[in-house]
Amino acid sequence: MSKLSHSDLYSLEQYSRIRPEFRATVMEHKKNRHIEIGEHAGLYFEDNLTMKYQVQEMLRIERLFEADAIQDELDVYNDLVPDGGNLKATFMLEYSQIEERKKALASLVGVEHTLYMQVEGFDPINAIANEDLERSTDEKTSAVHFVRFEFSAEMISALKQGAALYAGIEHENYPGRVELKSNQHSALLADFA
């Protein structure tokens, strides 16, 4: 999957005109890229389109139009675009109540390191988490982590031939495993192009 460049982006003026339609397209696209693991954990798989939306929104919010500032945003968000042999995601722990969230994050230290994906017939693939900076301490984990899963050529081939794909967590305080639905499986296969 190709990384984003300046030529992929809309000017601020263009974006203001097409934003509602573009946003609707991206939200529809994201539906098949969200995997829930239990009630409070979710993987939001990123790709070229989701990162284009993120960059466009940052440029809009910060009113950035200078080439160097745009390149800085591209450099940050391009790290979340899959490279053809991996899947990249934002891993979120979502609790609506503040006190419940504080308690949960304290009990889930290191959860990002117990996150995995598994292709049917293969060993689990452990997440490579937070390569940019550490988001956990000894007292609590963060509600947001950035993760990457590296797949072998054999795993990708098996997925393309219809092998099941699972996502799971092996943390003692939040174990869970789900099989991806066919629409999710198909959406993520595109990341291996």
Long-range CB pairs of 60-67 (<8 Å, 24+ gap) are 60/12, 60/15, 60/16, 60/19, 63/12, 65/11, 65/12, 67/6
Rounded-to-integer distance, Cα 83 and Cα 106, Å:
33
Where along the chain do the CATH 2.60.40 domains lie? 33-46+84-193
Higher-pLDDT residue of 80 and 35 is: 35
pLDDT digit string, tens, across residues 119-172: 999 999 999 997 766 677 778 999 999 999 999 999 999 999 999 999 999 999
**Across-strand partners of 129?**
147
The chain-wide mean pLDDT, for the chain, equals: 92
Rounded-to-integer distance, Cα 136 and Cα 107, Å:
12
Tell me the pTM: 0.89
Q: What was the pLDDT predicted at 6?
A: 86
The CATH number fitting domain 33-46+84-193, selected from 3.30.70, 1.10.287, 2.60.40, 1.20.120: 2.60.40
Rounded-to-integer distance, Cα 58 and Cα 67, Å:
14
Q: Which of 121, 53, 123, 116 is nearest to 87 (CA)?
A: 116
